[in-house]
Amino acid sequence: MEESMGIERREKGRRAEVVKAVVDHVVHKAETTVTLDALQDFLHIPQDAAGRIVSSLVNAGIVREVRDGVWSRVPDLPPTSA
């Protein structure tokens, strides 16, 4: 794995960028589907980090697995003002 793909969990600025990108890409777009590979490529993060993000989104009730390895935003979330 390339060193540049790593994200230091204590690097707050980079972590904030990743969180904002996830919110913009997943939470605010109801039609979005997510895979670990796509999230990894989109955010330039390791696959284990992508897995943690998806797990957090599932635990928060934001996405659900619709097919093996594919998650989609829960359709009944209230609309956002983004």
DSSP 25-63: IIIS-TT-EE-HHHHHHHHT--HHHHHHHHHHHHHTTSE
Cα(4)–Cα(61) distance, integer angstroms = 31
- Tell me the domain boundaries of the chain: 3-73
| Rounded-to-10 torsion of CA 2, 21, 39, 74 | 160
Question: Higher model confidence: residue 18 or residue 30?
Answer: 18
Give the global pTM.
Answer: 0.74
Per-residue pLDDT band at 28 (split at 50, 70, 90): confident
φ/ψ of 68, rounded to 5, equals -55, 115
Architecture of domain 3-73: Orthogonal Bundle (1.10)
DSSP label at 77? S
User: Picking from 26-30, 43-47, 62-66, which range would have the lowest pLDDT averaged per residue?
Assistant: 26-30
